[in-house]
A = this chain, B = another copy of it.
Amino acid sequence: MRVTIWNEFRHERSDPQVAAIYPDGIHGALADAVRGPGVEVGTATLDEPEHGLPDEVLDATDVLVWWGHGAHAEVDDGLVERARARVLAGMGLVVLHSGHHAKLFKALMGTTCDLQWREADDVERLWVVAPGHPIARGIGPSIELEIEEMYGEPFDVPAPDELVFVSWFTGGEVFRSGCCYTRGRGRIFYFRPGHETHPTYHHPDVRRVIANAVAWAGCTSQTQS
């Protein structure tokens, strides 16, 4: 399976706090989480030519992982349409955190993908509500993150085809934080955690969920080969 991690890669270069947490970029941490036997990982970032996703890369990608935040508007519309077509044809897509507002995710969902949010000192606890789901494999009843940005309901997405995680936050909010979709032949997983100022992608359970999600989302793509 060939996985491409796409990262905006701006915060890490402009904010020393983020750089300290992710010295190899968020994409570097995610690549480490996903890499394994039978899983080849490449990375691509916004400021590379064609955002690092020319046709030859996109066409060879079984699962695309997407992290973006402040620069969604800079992503080329043509790339968005090409990536969407690839998903509908069977490429898996794992959308992380603030990627809920990525053009690609919004185009596939058809809704605003808006949500409530707050940067504070919330603890986030992600509860598994689908204990048998492959994406929850190896995870206990919940995952606890000592500090994370809060995302709250209502989350304006289509009702997920399968809901795997629901988050609790100290401040009193809940969030559907692990949502599965099938669109065309492609599988899509949205996973909430991962604010850039917290070391979330170094958390072993978060890494395991992302690796599981890549395996789940890649299943369809690989059936075609």
Interface positions of A (Cβ within 8 A of B): 84, 88, 90, 107-112, 125, 127-134, 137-138, 141, 152-156, 158-159, 161-163, 166-169, 172-174, 176, 181-187, 219-220, 223
Contact = CB atoms under 8 A, between A and B. Distances in A.
- List the 6 closest A-B pairs by CB distance, nearest first: A132-B185, A110-B110, A132-B220, A108-B110, A137-B223, A127-B153
Contacts of A183: 110-111, 158
Given A132-B182, A132-B223, A223-B132, A127 B152 contact: yes
Nearest to A176: B129
A161 B157 CA distance: 13
Contacts of A161: 158-159, 161-162
A225 B155 CA distance: 23
A174 to B, nearest CB: 5
Nearest to A219: B134
24 contacts: A88-B156, A108-B110, A110-B183, A111-B184, A112-B184, A127-B152, A129-B155, A130-B159, A130-B182, A131-B184, A131-B185, A132-B220, A133-B182, A134-B219, A141-B154, A159-B161, A159-B162, A159-B182, A161-B161, A163-B163, A166-B174, A168-B168, A168-B172, A168-B174
